[in-house]
Structure 1
Amino acid sequence: MAAPEPKLETDRLILRPPAAEDFEAWAVFAADEDTMRHLGGVQPRAVAWRGICSVTGAWAIRGHSMFSVIEKATGRWVGRLGPWQPEGWPGTEVGWGIVRDCWGKGYASEGATAAIDYVFDVLGWDEVIHCIEPENLNSQKVAKRLGSAYLREDWLPAPYDDHPVGIWGQSRAQWQARKPA
Protein backbone atom coordinates (compact mmCIF):
# COMPACT_ATOMS: atom_id res chain seq x y z
CA MET A 1 0.00 0.00 0.00
CA ALA A 2 1.43 3.38 -1.02
CA ALA A 3 1.95 6.09 1.57
CA PRO A 4 -0.47 8.98 1.30
CA GLU A 5 0.87 11.91 -0.68
CA PRO A 6 1.44 15.07 1.30
CA LYS A 7 -0.89 17.97 0.69
CA LEU A 8 -0.03 21.30 2.26
CA GLU A 9 -2.47 24.17 2.49
CA THR A 10 -1.96 27.87 3.08
CA ASP A 11 -4.53 30.63 3.14
CA ARG A 12 -4.58 30.87 -0.67
CA LEU A 13 -2.72 27.82 -1.98
CA ILE A 14 -2.76 24.04 -2.11
CA LEU A 15 0.61 22.34 -2.52
CA ARG A 16 0.49 18.75 -3.74
CA PRO A 17 2.65 16.44 -5.85
CA PRO A 18 2.30 17.08 -9.59
CA ALA A 19 -0.41 15.17 -11.46
CA ALA A 20 -1.02 14.43 -15.14
CA GLU A 21 -3.61 17.20 -15.38
CA ASP A 22 -0.89 19.76 -14.48
CA PHE A 23 1.10 19.19 -17.66
CA GLU A 24 -0.64 21.67 -19.98
CA ALA A 25 -0.10 24.56 -17.54
CA TRP A 26 3.43 23.29 -16.77
CA ALA A 27 4.29 23.33 -20.49
CA VAL A 28 3.02 26.90 -20.91
CA PHE A 29 5.02 27.93 -17.81
CA ALA A 30 8.18 26.28 -19.21
CA ALA A 31 7.74 28.01 -22.59
CA ASP A 32 7.52 31.53 -21.12
CA GLU A 33 10.78 33.42 -21.65
CA ASP A 34 10.36 35.81 -18.69
CA THR A 35 9.40 33.03 -16.31
CA MET A 36 12.22 30.72 -17.37
CA ARG A 37 14.95 33.41 -17.61
CA HIS A 38 16.44 32.32 -14.25
CA LEU A 39 15.15 28.72 -14.27
CA GLY A 40 17.37 27.16 -16.90
CA GLY A 41 15.84 28.78 -19.98
CA VAL A 42 12.79 28.19 -22.14
CA GLN A 43 11.86 24.55 -22.59
CA PRO A 44 10.10 23.08 -25.60
CA ARG A 45 7.07 20.94 -24.79
CA ALA A 46 9.01 17.64 -24.92
CA VAL A 47 11.59 18.96 -22.43
CA ALA A 48 8.82 20.30 -20.18
CA TRP A 49 7.36 16.76 -20.21
CA ARG A 50 10.68 15.35 -19.06
CA GLY A 51 10.81 18.06 -16.38
CA ILE A 52 7.42 17.25 -14.87
CA CYS A 53 8.29 13.54 -15.02
CA SER A 54 11.61 14.23 -13.28
CA VAL A 55 9.89 16.09 -10.46
CA THR A 56 7.19 13.41 -10.19
CA GLY A 57 9.79 10.63 -10.28
CA ALA A 58 11.75 12.28 -7.48
CA TRP A 59 8.71 11.76 -5.24
CA ALA A 60 9.05 8.00 -5.84
CA ILE A 61 12.85 7.87 -5.56
CA ARG A 62 13.56 10.41 -2.80
CA GLY A 63 10.19 10.58 -1.08
CA HIS A 64 9.99 14.34 -1.68
CA SER A 65 10.14 16.83 -4.52
CA MET A 66 8.57 20.02 -5.71
CA PHE A 67 4.85 20.48 -5.29
CA SER A 68 2.39 21.77 -7.83
CA VAL A 69 1.02 25.10 -6.59
CA ILE A 70 -2.74 25.33 -6.96
CA GLU A 71 -4.63 28.57 -6.38
CA LYS A 72 -7.46 27.72 -3.97
CA ALA A 73 -9.87 30.35 -5.29
CA THR A 74 -9.73 29.08 -8.88
CA GLY A 75 -8.23 25.57 -8.82
CA ARG A 76 -5.65 26.85 -11.32
CA TRP A 77 -2.07 25.49 -11.49
CA VAL A 78 0.13 28.55 -10.84
CA GLY A 79 3.60 27.09 -10.39
CA ARG A 80 5.83 24.59 -8.73
CA LEU A 81 7.85 24.93 -5.57
CA GLY A 82 9.29 22.98 -2.69
CA PRO A 83 12.05 20.53 -1.88
CA TRP A 84 14.56 19.91 -4.63
CA GLN A 85 17.69 17.81 -4.30
CA PRO A 86 18.72 16.15 -7.55
CA GLU A 87 22.04 14.35 -7.90
CA GLY A 88 24.99 16.72 -7.55
CA TRP A 89 22.91 19.65 -6.23
CA PRO A 90 24.76 22.01 -3.86
CA GLY A 91 22.42 21.33 -0.92
CA THR A 92 18.89 20.73 0.29
CA GLU A 93 16.89 23.31 -1.61
CA VAL A 94 13.42 24.74 -1.39
CA GLY A 95 12.97 26.48 -4.72
CA TRP A 96 10.09 28.19 -6.46
CA GLY A 97 8.74 29.14 -9.86
CA ILE A 98 5.41 30.92 -10.26
CA VAL A 99 3.59 31.76 -13.51
CA ARG A 100 4.29 35.29 -14.64
CA ASP A 101 0.76 36.65 -14.28
CA CYS A 102 0.85 35.70 -10.59
CA TRP A 103 4.11 37.47 -9.78
CA GLY A 104 3.79 40.03 -7.02
CA LYS A 105 0.93 38.23 -5.25
CA GLY A 106 3.19 36.72 -2.58
CA TYR A 107 2.57 33.14 -3.71
CA ALA A 108 6.27 32.23 -3.74
CA SER A 109 6.77 33.40 -0.15
CA GLU A 110 3.50 31.87 1.06
CA GLY A 111 4.13 28.51 -0.55
CA ALA A 112 7.83 28.42 0.33
CA THR A 113 7.00 29.08 3.99
CA ALA A 114 4.78 25.98 4.06
CA ALA A 115 7.41 23.97 2.17
CA ILE A 116 10.20 25.02 4.55
CA ASP A 117 8.07 24.03 7.54
CA TYR A 118 7.55 20.68 5.79
CA VAL A 119 11.24 20.00 5.09
CA PHE A 120 12.27 20.85 8.64
CA ASP A 121 9.34 19.26 10.48
CA VAL A 122 8.62 16.20 8.30
CA LEU A 123 11.79 15.51 6.30
CA GLY A 124 14.13 16.44 9.16
CA TRP A 125 16.45 18.65 7.12
CA ASP A 126 19.00 20.72 9.05
CA GLU A 127 19.46 23.42 6.40
CA VAL A 128 17.52 24.83 3.49
CA ILE A 129 19.10 26.63 0.54
CA HIS A 130 17.81 28.54 -2.47
CA CYS A 131 19.92 28.58 -5.65
CA ILE A 132 19.43 32.05 -7.12
CA GLU A 133 21.14 33.65 -10.09
CA PRO A 134 22.80 36.99 -9.21
CA GLU A 135 20.50 38.88 -11.63
CA ASN A 136 17.30 37.40 -10.15
CA LEU A 137 16.46 40.22 -7.76
CA ASN A 138 12.84 39.10 -7.32
CA SER A 139 13.86 35.69 -5.96
CA GLN A 140 16.48 37.33 -3.76
CA LYS A 141 13.66 39.42 -2.25
CA VAL A 142 11.63 36.26 -1.63
CA ALA A 143 14.64 34.62 0.05
CA LYS A 144 15.10 37.66 2.31
CA ARG A 145 11.37 37.63 3.20
CA LEU A 146 11.83 34.01 4.24
CA GLY A 147 14.71 35.01 6.52
CA SER A 148 17.42 33.50 4.31
CA ALA A 149 20.76 35.19 3.76
CA TYR A 150 23.39 34.98 1.05
CA LEU A 151 25.76 32.16 2.01
CA ARG A 152 28.15 31.63 -0.91
CA GLU A 153 28.66 31.29 -4.63
CA ASP A 154 28.43 27.75 -6.02
CA TRP A 155 27.79 25.77 -9.19
CA LEU A 156 24.87 23.63 -10.24
CA PRO A 157 25.56 20.27 -11.89
CA ALA A 158 25.52 19.86 -15.67
CA PRO A 159 23.78 20.88 -17.81
CA TYR A 160 23.29 24.05 -15.70
CA ASP A 161 26.99 24.52 -14.89
CA ASP A 162 27.76 27.34 -17.32
CA HIS A 163 27.80 30.05 -14.62
CA PRO A 164 27.84 30.27 -10.82
CA VAL A 165 24.72 30.82 -8.72
CA GLY A 166 24.22 32.47 -5.38
CA ILE A 167 23.36 30.13 -2.56
CA TRP A 168 20.97 31.66 -0.07
CA GLY A 169 19.69 29.82 2.97
CA GLN A 170 19.33 29.24 6.65
CA SER A 171 19.51 26.52 9.27
CA ARG A 172 16.61 24.85 11.00
CA ALA A 173 17.51 26.73 14.20
CA GLN A 174 17.44 30.08 12.37
CA TRP A 175 14.04 29.26 10.83
CA GLN A 176 12.57 28.20 14.15
CA ALA A 177 13.99 31.24 15.97
CA ARG A 178 12.10 33.66 13.69
CA LYS A 179 8.72 32.00 14.18
CA PRO A 180 6.41 33.16 17.01
CA ALA A 181 6.16 30.78 19.95
Structure 2
Amino acid sequence: MTDLVFETPSLQCRRWVTTDLDAIHAVYSDREAMRWVDDGEPITRAACEEWLRVTERNYATRGYGMFALTDRERGEVVGFCGLVHPGNQPEPEIKYAFRREVWGRGLASEAVPALLRHGASLGMERIIATVAPENVASRRVLEKAGLREIDRREDAEGTTLVYEWIAPAGRA
Protein backbone atom coordinates (compact mmCIF):
# COMPACT_ATOMS: atom_id res chain seq x y z
CA MET A 1 0.00 0.00 0.00
CA THR A 2 1.92 3.04 -1.22
CA ASP A 3 -0.21 5.66 0.51
CA LEU A 4 0.05 4.05 3.96
CA VAL A 5 0.26 6.67 6.73
CA PHE A 6 0.32 4.44 9.83
CA GLU A 7 -0.84 1.11 11.19
CA THR A 8 -2.31 0.07 14.53
CA PRO A 9 -3.18 -3.44 15.71
CA SER A 10 -6.63 -3.22 14.07
CA LEU A 11 -6.31 -0.46 11.47
CA GLN A 12 -4.38 0.73 8.46
CA CYS A 13 -4.49 4.45 7.77
CA ARG A 14 -3.98 5.64 4.21
CA ARG A 15 -4.63 8.64 2.01
CA TRP A 16 -8.09 9.04 0.52
CA VAL A 17 -8.59 7.87 -3.05
CA THR A 18 -11.49 8.66 -5.37
CA THR A 19 -12.92 5.17 -4.90
CA ASP A 20 -13.46 6.02 -1.20
CA LEU A 21 -16.35 8.32 -2.13
CA ASP A 22 -19.05 5.74 -1.28
CA ALA A 23 -17.44 5.00 2.10
CA ILE A 24 -17.02 8.72 2.86
CA HIS A 25 -20.66 9.35 2.04
CA ALA A 26 -21.79 6.31 4.06
CA VAL A 27 -20.19 7.71 7.22
CA TYR A 28 -20.92 11.40 6.73
CA SER A 29 -24.52 10.95 5.54
CA ASP A 30 -25.42 8.96 8.68
CA ARG A 31 -27.38 11.31 10.93
CA GLU A 32 -26.31 9.52 14.12
CA ALA A 33 -22.63 9.47 13.10
CA MET A 34 -22.83 13.19 12.27
CA ARG A 35 -24.53 14.16 15.52
CA TRP A 36 -21.28 15.57 16.94
CA VAL A 37 -19.77 16.91 13.70
CA ASP A 38 -20.07 20.61 12.76
CA ASP A 39 -23.78 21.51 12.74
CA GLY A 40 -24.84 17.89 13.25
CA GLU A 41 -26.38 17.57 9.80
CA PRO A 42 -25.51 14.77 7.37
CA ILE A 43 -23.38 15.72 4.37
CA THR A 44 -24.59 15.27 0.80
CA ARG A 45 -22.75 13.17 -1.77
CA ALA A 46 -21.85 16.37 -3.66
CA ALA A 47 -20.33 17.82 -0.48
CA CYS A 48 -18.35 14.60 0.01
CA GLU A 49 -17.04 14.90 -3.57
CA GLU A 50 -15.91 18.46 -2.84
CA TRP A 51 -14.31 17.37 0.43
CA LEU A 52 -12.38 14.71 -1.49
CA ARG A 53 -11.07 17.43 -3.85
CA VAL A 54 -10.13 19.70 -0.92
CA THR A 55 -8.32 16.79 0.74
CA GLU A 56 -6.34 16.10 -2.45
CA ARG A 57 -5.31 19.79 -2.48
CA ASN A 58 -4.30 19.54 1.18
CA TYR A 59 -2.09 16.54 0.39
CA ALA A 60 -0.41 18.62 -2.34
CA THR A 61 0.01 21.82 -0.29
CA ARG A 62 0.42 20.59 3.29
CA GLY A 63 1.39 16.95 2.88
CA TYR A 64 -1.52 15.79 5.04
CA GLY A 65 -5.29 16.00 5.39
CA MET A 66 -8.03 13.45 6.00
CA PHE A 67 -7.22 9.75 5.76
CA ALA A 68 -9.16 6.50 5.36
CA LEU A 69 -9.03 3.93 8.14
CA THR A 70 -9.37 0.35 6.96
CA ASP A 71 -9.89 -2.81 8.97
CA ARG A 72 -6.59 -4.71 8.78
CA GLU A 73 -8.31 -8.11 8.57
CA ARG A 74 -11.03 -7.35 6.02
CA GLY A 75 -9.52 -4.36 4.22
CA GLU A 76 -12.79 -2.42 4.26
CA VAL A 77 -13.01 1.26 5.15
CA VAL A 78 -14.41 1.60 8.68
CA GLY A 79 -13.81 5.30 9.26
CA PHE A 80 -11.73 8.38 8.71
CA CYS A 81 -9.28 10.53 10.63
CA GLY A 82 -7.05 13.42 9.79
CA LEU A 83 -5.32 16.67 10.56
CA VAL A 84 -7.07 19.70 9.10
CA HIS A 85 -7.18 23.49 9.42
CA PRO A 86 -10.89 24.48 9.55
CA GLY A 87 -11.38 28.05 8.37
CA ASN A 88 -7.62 28.22 7.74
CA GLN A 89 -6.90 28.25 11.47
CA PRO A 90 -3.14 28.14 12.09
CA GLU A 91 -2.99 25.02 14.24
CA PRO A 92 -3.82 21.56 12.92
CA GLU A 93 -6.99 20.02 14.33
CA ILE A 94 -7.58 16.31 14.71
CA LYS A 95 -10.83 14.95 13.25
CA TYR A 96 -12.26 11.44 13.15
CA ALA A 97 -15.49 9.59 12.42
CA PHE A 98 -16.40 5.92 12.12
CA ARG A 99 -19.15 3.80 10.64
CA ARG A 100 -21.74 3.25 13.33
CA GLU A 101 -21.42 -0.55 13.20
CA VAL A 102 -17.81 -0.37 14.48
CA TRP A 103 -18.51 1.98 17.38
CA GLY A 104 -17.46 0.61 20.76
CA ARG A 105 -14.54 -1.45 19.42
CA GLY A 106 -11.85 0.99 20.60
CA LEU A 107 -10.84 2.00 17.07
CA ALA A 108 -10.79 5.74 17.84
CA SER A 109 -8.57 4.99 20.85
CA GLU A 110 -6.15 3.26 18.45
CA ALA A 111 -6.32 5.85 15.67
CA VAL A 112 -5.96 9.09 17.66
CA PRO A 113 -2.58 8.36 19.34
CA ALA A 114 -1.21 7.04 16.04
CA LEU A 115 -2.39 10.18 14.25
CA LEU A 116 -0.73 12.35 16.92
CA ARG A 117 2.54 10.46 16.43
CA HIS A 118 2.18 11.00 12.68
CA GLY A 119 1.67 14.73 13.27
CA ALA A 120 4.79 14.83 15.44
CA SER A 121 6.74 13.06 12.69
CA LEU A 122 5.72 15.92 10.38
CA GLY A 123 7.11 18.45 12.86
CA MET A 124 3.82 19.45 14.49
CA GLU A 125 4.37 20.62 18.04
CA ARG A 126 0.75 21.42 18.92
CA ILE A 127 -2.47 19.81 17.71
CA ILE A 128 -5.95 20.73 18.89
CA ALA A 129 -9.30 18.97 18.93
CA THR A 130 -12.79 20.35 19.42
CA VAL A 131 -15.65 18.41 20.99
CA ALA A 132 -19.13 19.01 22.35
CA PRO A 133 -19.25 18.72 26.16
CA GLU A 134 -21.97 16.05 25.83
CA ASN A 135 -19.79 13.85 23.60
CA VAL A 136 -18.38 11.89 26.52
CA ALA A 137 -16.98 9.06 24.36
CA SER A 138 -14.83 11.41 22.25
CA ARG A 139 -13.72 13.34 25.32
CA ARG A 140 -12.49 10.05 26.82
CA VAL A 141 -10.66 9.15 23.59
CA LEU A 142 -8.91 12.53 23.53
CA GLU A 143 -7.97 12.46 27.21
CA LYS A 144 -6.70 8.87 26.95
CA ALA A 145 -4.49 9.99 24.03
CA GLY A 146 -2.95 12.74 26.18
CA LEU A 147 -4.92 15.81 25.09
CA ARG A 148 -6.09 18.19 27.79
CA GLU A 149 -8.99 20.62 27.85
CA ILE A 150 -7.77 24.21 27.50
CA ASP A 151 -10.79 26.29 26.49
CA ARG A 152 -14.57 26.46 26.29
CA ARG A 153 -16.07 28.39 23.35
CA GLU A 154 -19.64 29.62 23.16
CA ASP A 155 -21.37 30.46 19.89
CA ALA A 156 -24.80 30.28 18.25
CA GLU A 157 -24.49 26.49 17.88
CA GLY A 158 -23.68 25.98 21.58
CA THR A 159 -20.62 25.13 23.62
CA THR A 160 -17.44 23.60 22.20
CA LEU A 161 -14.56 22.34 24.31
CA VAL A 162 -11.05 22.82 22.94
CA TYR A 163 -8.39 20.24 23.74
CA GLU A 164 -4.69 20.43 22.95
CA TRP A 165 -1.80 18.06 22.57
CA ILE A 166 1.78 19.23 22.88
CA ALA A 167 4.44 16.99 21.33
CA PRO A 168 6.78 15.48 23.90
CA ALA A 169 10.24 17.07 23.89
CA GLY A 170 12.34 15.69 21.08
CA ARG A 171 9.35 14.23 19.17
CA ALA A 172 8.49 17.14 16.88
Instruction: Give TM-score, length-normalised by structure 1.
Output: 0.83
Q: CA RMSD in A?
A: 2.3
SS of residue in 1 equivalent to 2:152: strand
Task: Determine the structure 1 residue equivalent to 2:81.
Answer: 81
- Relative to structure 1, is the Cα distance of residues 35 and 109 closer, same or farther in structure 2, using a 3 angstrom cutoff? same
Aligned-pair identity (%) = 24
Q: What is the aligned partner in structure 2 of residue 126 from structure 1? A: 125
**Partner secondary structure for residue 7 of structure 1:** strand
Cα 1:91/1:105, change in 2 over 3 Å: same
Cα deviation code 1:73-111 (max 9, x no counterpart): 111111110211244336322221111111111111111
- What is aligned with 1:11? 9
Deviation at 1:65, TM superposition (A): 0.8
Q: Deviations over 1:110-138 (max 9, x none)?
A: 111111111112x1111121111222111
> What secondary structure does 2:138 align onto?
helix
Alignment gaps of 5+ in structure 2? none
Amino acid at match of 1:12: S
Normalised TM-score (structure 2)? 0.87
Task: For residues 28-85 of structure 1, give each alpha carbon's deviation from its aligned partner in whole angstroms, at most 9, with x where no partner exists.
Answer: 1111011001112211211122222222321112111121101111111111102112
Matched residue, 1:179: none
Aligned to 1:173: 168
Q: For 1:107-146, what aligned pairs fall within 5 Å after superposition?
A: 107-121=107-121, 123-146=122-145
Offset at 1:164?
Answer: 4.2
Change over 3 Å in CA distance of 1:90–1:140 after alignment to 2? farther
